[in-house]
Amino acid sequence: MNQTATLAAPQPRVLADFLVNTRVRDAALVLTAALLTAACAQISIPIPGSPVPVTGQTFAVLLTGAALGANRGASGQLLYVAMGLVGLPFYADGAHGVDVVWGATGGYLIAFPISAWVCGRLAEKRYDRTPQTALPAFLAGSIIVFAIGVPWLAVSADISLWKAIDLGFVPFIPGGILKAALAAGLLPTAWAIANRK
């Protein structure tokens, strides 16, 4: 038997895998993802005429999805949505409850676990290792949020799809690109630092 192969540690699939693998670790990571998203939700800038504010939530979704991997990232976002549903003031501007999820911004919230799962899956395939591959991966995660959020806005606000695109997508394009670019810069940097240890 090759002793070198026996002693070689398995390569981490995502950044979270650098930590000791336990159920307590996974639970802590999922809770941290939910709390980070809640904190980022309080960074909220209203858009005149739109019921949807610009927030830091999507940045947290992209970042935690990629850092934790598909299942843990999605679980963190499911926990985030659930915590707001049961009354914790975790949604944008401290909002919470079923009315928010069924309201104009609910589709964006529902999309978070899906977006985090996709970003996590792409990270597991090593797309988060360089800015050139991370940026398209994070843009894909952002597009998922809008692909679900915008039609939901149209239905919940009883407006046309074109009006929903105008209110719930167009004003968010620059911010979405910026958040994806920030995540695409942070993750490869974190990998470079982790690999030096």
In a domain? residue 121: yes
Read off the tokens for 80: 């985030």
Q: Does residue 2 sit within a domain?
A: no
Whether 6 maps to a domain, the answer reads: no
Residue 1 maps to a domain: no
**How buried is 2 (Cβ within 10 angstroms: 0-12 exposed, 13-18 middle, 19+ buried)?**
exposed
pLDDT score for 9: 56
Residue 75 domain flag: yes
User: Where does 34-185 show beta strands of DSSP type E?
Assistant: 44-45, 54-55
Closest C-alpha among 4, 5, 23, 9 to residue 197: 9
State the 10-residue block means of pLDDT for the chain, 197 residues long. 51 89 93 98 91 94 97 98 97 95 95 98 96 96 98 96 96 95 94 85
pTM above 0.85, yes or no: yes
> Domain range holding 61?
14-189
Burial of 131 (0-12, 13-18, 19+ CB in 10 A): middle
56: which DSSP letter? S
Q: Cβ neighbours of residue 113 under 8 Å, at least 6 residues apart? A: 74, 75, 77, 78, 81
The C-alpha atoms of residue 93 and residue 134 are separated, in whole angstroms, by: 29
Looking up residue 48, the CATH number of its domain turns out to be 1.10.1760.20
